[in-house]
Structure 1
Amino acid sequence: MTLYRQLLMTMLGLFAILFVSAYWVQFQSTRDFLAEQLRTTVESTANSAGLALTPYLETGDQVGAESVLNAAFDGGYYRRIRLDLLASGEHIEKENTITIHDVPNWFINLHLFDSVNYDTVLTSGWLQLGKLQVEGHPGQAYFELWRGMSRLLVSFLVAFLVVTVLLMRALNLLLRPLEQIRHQAREIELHHFGHAIPLPRTLELRQVVQAINGMAGKLAKQFKEQAEAAERLRERAFRDAVSGLGNRAYFMGQVNSWIAEAGHGGIMLVAVDMLEDIYRDEGFAARDRMVAAVAKSIQACLQRFEAAACARISATEYAILLPGIEGLQLQETGEEINRAIAELVINPIAQNQSISVIGMTVREDKDDLSTLLTKADNALRRARTERLGAVVLEQASRDTLGRIAWKEIISRALQQGNLQFKSQPAILLETGQAHHEELFASIQQDDLAFSAGQFMPAVEQFKLGSEFDKAVLQAVAPTLHRQPNKRLAINLTMGSITSDAFHFWLADYLLQHEHLAGRLLFEMPETAIVYARHSVDKLVALLKARHFTWGVDQYGRYFQSLGYLESLMPAYVKVDHGYTGMVLKEEGDQAFLSAVCRAAHNAGIVTIATRVEDDAQVKALADLFVDGYQGYISPPQPFA
């Protein structure tokens, strides 16, 4: 029970005791007054009637005596008046048989008033003339007592209700700082530091609020420092200081992660050999400025590719990963990069040579990292021999599906419902239980099966993300209805995240399936947070308003601040799988991953490592502030 209720009930109980006590005292005093009034009235009537009857009894005028009795009986409220005539042995009696109205029987049956009788002997000198008996009727006393106490009870009840309302408002006002303290403490427990509590007027609460505000400020500062420390470690481990791009380790990790997925795309190696000439002629500073300028030009050309990764892998070479594109588009992009770099030099050293040369290759299904880099390096050597505007593509040994073919496959799958699903659990290290299962979609066409890594680039390219996500959400809802213990995570595409129309559709979907709150989870890539923060904010607000859970995929992939954790507060994050395999090799990588995971872990966010393949990785990750893992150690299973 809350303190507010305890105080309210205690004070209302005390007021109730006070009201009941006052009512009881008033009730007793009123009853005693009415009883005394009844006794006095009976005695007064008996004495006055006796004086009036004596002259008539002396003369034997029975009719006059009866008239006096009638006048006395009608002038008061009596139950019975009896006059015994001693001379004749006769008697005159008046009796009231009227019942009491407007008073409940149960109240009369309480016998609050005793019967009041008064007898007197009428004499004339020494001669006894008669005997007069007067019995009072308590009906009037009951009526007056009932009416007075009823009005008093109503007044007390109204006063009690008024006091209750005023007391509730007063307690709400007085305990508001305490409620703010409780809310702030809960927010701190959830690692939501929020804003400072206004200082209350109450001295004791003011001191408590000052202490809590100070503690929240220090925790917020510590969280920010941890995020900044993680950023510094990441930059030290995976960022080239001169160009601002990733380094060779970063590029290798991104390529390995891409290769682990079934999909297409390509890589290119960009060689800017004139950097060596600049170094010899103008020194380190001039070369570093040129290195940074080349990096900015490359990044400008890659802005439209959200999944692209770029790194500086040697003093004069850059490497670029472009998932989801085909050979022709890859070659066009290479030529665009070549032109952009050429524009950086006003007076080229040799007019008959290009400033940069590019070698590139398209991925085939069985290509590993070594094969891809070898093919790209071969293409780069051929580009160097041609030199003038050299962009060389290492051709694939077989033809791949074109963009139009992919669009037809995806559109047909959405129309015919040819989507197949598997789910893979994310296991918590502490309990060994599944935090949730992540859904993976594939397209089944004839005898061929296409994984998400193969067709998702085309889904994004042709802006089919919203339709694809709608189809997935509608397909999984019946299974979640049938299996109330299952928690399922759905990956949202960038097209859905940035679509206002999808937001409206999702709002209706969540309203229709509100019982799935807590069991249907939504995952957004860190790419969306970096490049479409406004849309992410709106979508997160929608999910939280409907009490649905969401998480971040590819956590730690981008060289942006991790401060979004504090403002968005996802329920969980999945560490980019590019770091999972590397963490067991170098101590620096472990320190980086530990810092990044600690930033999320200390914010109360569940941290899940991805692409975990064996128990050795599980044991190593357990010491790095990782709360759970997901990967081929628990392979995907068909989703019913």
Structure 2
Amino acid sequence: MTLYRQLLATMLLLFGALFAVTYWVQFNSTRTYLAQQQETTVINTATALGLALTPYLENGDKVSAESVIKAVFDGGYYRLVRLDLLASHDVIEQENTNHVAGVPAWFMGLDLFPEISNESILTSGWLQLGKLKVVGHSGQAYYELWQGMTNLASWFVVGFLITTLLLMRALSYLLKPLDQIREQALEIEQHHFGHEIPEPRTVELKQVVQAINTLSGKLAAQFKEQAQEAENLRERVYLDAVSGLGNRAYFVGQVNAWIAEAGQGGVMLVAVDMLDDIYRDEGFAARDNMVKSIAQSLNDELSGWDGAAIARISATEYALLCPTNDLDTLQELAERINNRIADLVVNPMGEADALSVIGIAGRDSQDDLSSLLTKADNALGRARNERRGAVVMEGGHSQGMMGRLAWRDLVEDAIARQLWRFKAQPACRFDNGLRLHAELFAAIHRDGNDYFAGQFLPAIEQFKLGSEFDQAILTATVPLLQQDAELVLAVNITSGAICSEEFLLWLGDFLGRNLELKDRLLFEIPEGAILKHQAQVEALVAVLREHAYQWGVDHYGRHFQSLGYLEQMAPSYVKVDHGYTSQVMEPGADTSFLAAVCRAAHNAGVLTIATRVENEQQVELLSGLHIDGYQGFVHPAFLI
């Protein structure tokens, strides 16, 4: 029970006891008064009646005596008036046997008033004329007591209700600072810092509030310091200081993750050898400015490519990871990049000469990192031997069987006919091995062939089919969860769906119709979408929270932006990008950055999960890096 309810109940009990004691005292006082009044009335009536009857009894006038008795009986409220005539042995009697109206029978049965009577002998000198008995009727006393006490009880009830309302308002006002302290403590427990509580007037609570605000501020500053530490480590390990792009280690990690996800597309190497000429002729400052300009141009060209990565791998070379299912777009992209780089040099004669060459390696089904980079390097060498502005492509022959429109038709057909094949890969805790959830992987099964997400997702983003695709997948998960009561699924949401208002409206209705799944259906949002479309992601998260659904971040740590969104958006968990976890097994691997970003998430109260963990040795190494769980081939995916 809350302190508010305890105080309210205690005060109401005290007021209730006070009202009850007051009522009891008033009840007894009224009853005693009415009993005494009745006794006095009976005695006075008997005395007066005796004096009035004596003359008639002396004369033997029975009729007049009876008239006097009737007049007195009718003028008062008595149960019995009886006169025994001693001389003639006659009896004159008047009796009232009626019940009092307006008084419950159970109340009359409480015997609150004893019978009050008075007997006297009427005499004339020494002669006894008769015996008079007057018995009072307690009905009037019961009526007066009932009316008075019911009215008093009504006023007490009204007063008690008014007192209750006033107490509730007073306690709410007085305990508001304490409730704010409680909410702040819960926020701190959930690693949400920075919000200050207004200081109350109560001295004791004011000191507590000041301490809580100071603690919250220190924790918020500490979290920001840890996030900044992670950023600094990432810049040291994975960032090229001049261009602001990733370095070779970053690029290798991203390509490994892309290959592991069966991604399609290619790797592009851009060589700008004229940077050496700029350095010799104009110095390092001019060269660095050109390096930054080229980096900005590359970022602009790949801004709409989901899953792309850019790095500077040497003084004059840049590497680009370009996920796509149409290699012709890589050729077009390379031509645009050459033109953008050529435009960076101001030519007084108005002539535009190419300054760069590009080699492209299209990914074939069996390519690993080494073979893919070898093909890209060979293509770049051939381009250098041709001319400036040359674009040479090698490989990618196994991808040429389907064009962009064919991939679009495949996805639309799968959505219309529900051509899905689902697998789920468990995510487990390091400490006890318990399953946290299972991530859902969708493949399209048509004409005896399976097409995996890494193959058709570029078409979904390119043709803006994310909303329809995610609606179809989420709809298909409902029967899967209903069939297995123990299954907890995590479903990835595409960037296209996140930016779709139609999907947001549909999702609100879907979640409302499936509230029983709120603890068994999780949503994963890619980190890139959070950084590029923060407003849309916040709207999506608001819908999830409205229906008490949980969500997580996929590819955590992939992008070179602040990790501050963790505190602001408060996901339930993050999945560390495979580009970092895959390097743990490499000789001399620097795990300081991985530990730092995981510690930043851990200290923000967010569960951290490593992805694509392949063996027990990786499990053992990752368990010491502030990571709570792991997911990968160490626990193979299962069909559902």
Paired residue for 1:378?
378
Q: CA deviation at 1:226?
A: 0.8
Is residue 2:28 matched to residue 1:28?
yes
Does the 8 Å CA contact 1:266/1:326 hold for their aligned counterparts? no
Q: CA deviation at 1:430?
A: 2.2
1:121 aligned partner, one-letter code: I
Does the 8 Å CA contact 2:343/2:352 hold for their aligned counterparts? no
SS at match of 1:548: coil
Q: 1:292 to 1:387 in 2, by over 3 A?
A: same
Q: What CA distance in whole angstroms lies between the structure 2 residues aligned with 1:215 and 1:69?
A: 92
1:597 aligned partner, one-letter code: C
Q: What CA distance in whole angstroms lies between the structure 2 residues aligned with 1:618 and 1:302?
A: 35
Q: What CA distance in whole angstroms lies between the structure 2 residues aligned with 1:32 and 1:548?
A: 68
Paired residue for 1:314?
314
Paired residue for 2:623?
622
Q: What CA distance in whole angstroms lies between the structure 1 residues aligned with 2:327 and 2:133?
A: 129
1:623 aligned partner, one-letter code: G
Paired residue for 1:416?
417
Is residue 2:297 matched to residue 1:328?
no
SS at match of 1:82: strand
Paired residue for 1:127?
127
Residues 266-304 of structure 1 deviation map (CA, whole Å, 9 limit, x = unaligned): 111111111112222232222222211221122222222
Q: CA deviation at 1:347?
A: 4.2
Mean Cα deviation higher: 477-486 or 395-404: 395-404
Does the 8 Å CA contact 2:85/2:91 hold for their aligned counterparts? yes
Q: 1:352 to 1:4 in 2, by over 3 A?
A: closer
Q: What CA distance in whole angstroms lies between the structure 1 residues aligned with 2:589 and 2:170?
A: 59
Paired residue for 1:340?
340
Does the 8 Å CA contact 1:80/1:96 hold for their aligned counterparts? yes
2:483 aligned partner, one-letter code: R
Q: What CA distance in whole angstroms lies between the structure 2 residues aligned with 1:158 and 1:587?
A: 80
Paired residue for 1:487?
488
Q: What CA distance in whole angstroms lies between the structure 1 residues aligned with 2:304 and 2:13?
A: 70
Q: CA deviation at 1:395?
A: 4.2
Is residue 2:15 matched to residue 1:52?
no
Paired residue for 1:190?
190
Paired residue for 1:169?
169
2:420 aligned partner, one-letter code: L
Q: What CA distance in whole angstroms lies between the structure 2 residues aligned with 1:162 and 1:539?
A: 45
Q: What CA distance in whole angstroms lies between the structure 1 residues aligned with 2:226 and 2:93?
A: 105
Q: TM-score, normalised by structure 2?
A: 0.97
Residues 497-536 of structure 1 deviation map (CA, whole Å, 9 limit, x = unaligned): 1000111111111111111112111111011011111111
Paired residue for 2:274?
274
Does the 8 Å CA contact 1:266/1:325 hold for their aligned counterparts? no
Q: CA deviation at 1:400?
A: 3.3
Does the 8 Å CA contact 2:428/2:631 hold for their aligned counterparts? yes
Paired residue for 1:602?
603
- State, as a whole percentage, how many aligned pairs show the same letter: 60
Q: 1:354 to 1:94 in 2, by over 3 A?
A: closer
Mean Cα deviation higher: 582-591 or 46-55: 582-591
Q: What CA distance in whole angstroms lies between the structure 2 residues aligned with 1:352 and 1:163?
A: 88
1:450 aligned partner, one-letter code: Y
Does the 8 Å CA contact 2:339/2:354 hold for their aligned counterparts? no
Q: 1:188 to 1:586 in 2, by over 3 A?
A: farther
Q: CA deviation at 1:100?
A: 2.1
SS at match of 2:220: helix
Query: Gaps (5+ residues) in structure 1?
Result: none
Q: 1:23 to 1:352 in 2, by over 3 A?
A: closer
Does the 8 Å CA contact 1:523/1:551 hold for their aligned counterparts? yes
Does the 8 Å CA contact 2:306/2:458 hold for their aligned counterparts? no
1:492 aligned partner, one-letter code: I
Does the 8 Å CA contact 1:361/1:395 hold for their aligned counterparts? yes
Q: What CA distance in whole angstroms lies between the structure 2 residues aligned with 1:194 and 1:138?
A: 75
Query: Gaps (5+ residues) in structure 2?
Result: none
2:503 aligned partner, one-letter code: F
Q: What CA distance in whole angstroms lies between the structure 2 residues aligned with 1:484 and 1:388?
A: 62
Count of aligned residue pairs for this structure pair? 638
Is residue 2:358 matched to residue 1:361?
no
Is residue 2:555 matched to residue 1:565?
no
Mean Cα deviation higher: 236-245 or 126-135: 126-135
Paired residue for 1:181?
181
1:7 aligned partner, one-letter code: L
Q: CA deviation at 1:245?
A: 0.4
Residues 310-340 of structure 1 deviation map (CA, whole Å, 9 limit, x = unaligned): 1011111111110124322111111111111
SS at match of 1:18: helix
Q: 1:136 to 1:619 in 2, by over 3 A?
A: same
Does the 8 Å CA contact 2:342/2:353 hold for their aligned counterparts? no
Q: CA deviation at 1:151?
A: 0.9
Paired residue for 2:577?
576
RMSD over aligned Cα atoms? 1.6
Does the 8 Å CA contact 2:364/2:395 hold for their aligned counterparts? no
Q: What CA distance in whole angstroms lies between the structure 2 residues aligned with 1:189 and 1:73?
A: 83
Does the 8 Å CA contact 1:190/1:603 hold for their aligned counterparts? yes
Q: What CA distance in whole angstroms lies between the structure 1 residues aligned with 2:487 and 2:405?
A: 37
1:49 aligned partner, one-letter code: L
Paired residue for 1:87?
87
SS at match of 1:237: helix
Q: What CA distance in whole angstroms lies between the structure 2 residues aligned with 1:588 and 1:76?
A: 112
Q: TM-score, normalised by structure 1?
A: 0.97
Q: CA deviation at 1:618?
A: 0.9
Q: What CA distance in whole angstroms lies between the structure 2 residues aligned with 1:199 and 1:605?
A: 30
Q: What CA distance in whole angstroms lies between the structure 1 residues aligned with 2:229 and 2:113?
A: 88
Is residue 2:182 matched to residue 1:206?
no
Q: 1:638 to 1:348 in 2, by over 3 A?
A: farther
Paired residue for 2:13?
13
Mean Cα deviation higher: 261-270 or 477-486: 477-486
SS at match of 1:425: strand
Q: CA deviation at 1:485?
A: 2.4
Q: What CA distance in whole angstroms lies between the structure 2 residues aligned with 1:120 and 1:587?
A: 124
Q: CA deviation at 1:346?
A: 2.2
Paired residue for 2:110?
110
Q: 1:111 to 1:353 in 2, by over 3 A?
A: closer
Q: What CA distance in whole angstroms lies between the structure 1 residues aligned with 2:362 and 2:316?
A: 23
